[in-house]
Amino acid sequence: MKGKVYLVGAGPGDPDLLMLKAAKILGRAEVVLHDDLVSTEILKLISASARVQNVGKRCGQAHFSQEEIHSRMVTFANEGLTVVRLKGGDPMLYGRTGEEMDALRRAGIEFEVVPGISAVFGAAAAARIPLTDRRIASKVMILSNHLCNGEDALIESNSISTDTTVVVYMPGADYAALATKFCAAGFNPQTRCLVVSSATTQHQRLHISSLEKLAATPNLPAPVLLIAGDVVGHPTDSECPAEIVRTSIDSLGRLS
């Protein structure tokens, strides 16, 4: 009798933001293969009898290759075990879930996807900025600045309208180049930006800037994402969480 694999989203880090269904599955899992970014608090929810392995990738370093992860999921499921592939954020967004589902299909393994809160939604909530606002932003563009071949993401000239909120996962350290791409794509240099490190966790840091000043952004620890668009400029000083105001004043002077 074959087991089953659950592809589970662990959310952005705060254990209180973990889906109830995900928590229940972790409590009865027999094997958990987790990403490196899954928080310790969430790992504590795993059954004490489960076999737990860190199969994550950080800064180009991998504990296991993607093919080895596929092999382990299939092998454990073929042994009749309940397997959880635990991923940060939502498994369907930059999580290689498509490849893993294909591997499970080829092996004839039953699987289920359990969604999680993606980091961008945690970051927007923490900063109290809407990703869309009918007055200024009707579109959201989500992209990664790190492609599987190691190249930076390409943004076509004049491809971004001013009513778009752009979200960049893994923006990298070259903020000057990213700002240049955004301006060439249609954004004004004064467009506001929010850089978020470790969204929703106790180590969360938020930094407000603009495209023309983005190069001066401090080097915040990964995981980092960037939100750019007029929605970032919507809150006033008094509406912003204290940590945003504090970081912004330190780096840029008083918010305008």
181 is a catalytic site residue: no
Q: Is 170 assigned a catalytic role?
A: yes
Note if 133 is an active site residue: no
Please give, one letter per residue, the 3-state secondary structure of the chain. CCCEEEEEECECCCHHHCCHHHHHHHHHCCEEEECCCCCHHHHCCCCCCCEEEECCEECCEECCCHHHHHHHHHHHHHCCCEEEEEECECCCCCCCHHHHHHHHHHHCCEEEEECCCCHHHHHHHHHCCCCCECCCECEEEEEECCCCCCCCCCCCCCCCCCCEEEEEECCCCCHHHHHHHHHHHCCCCCCEEEEEECCCCCCCEEEEEEHHHHHHCCCCCCCEEEEECHHHHCCCCCCCCHHHHHHHHHHHCCCC
Q: From the candidates 2, 4, 57, 213, which is the catalytic residue? A: 57
Which entry of 19, 92, 101, 170 is annotated as an active-site residue? 170
Of 35, 73, 87, 181, which is the active-site residue? Answer: 35
- Cβ distance 171 to 225 under 8 Å? yes
Report the alpha-carbon distance of residue 254 to residue 251 in Å, rounded: 9
Angle between helices 97-107 and 66-78 (to 10 degrees): 40
Single-letter residue type at 42: I
Report which residue type is found at 128: R
Could you give the residue numbers annotated as active site?
35, 57, 170
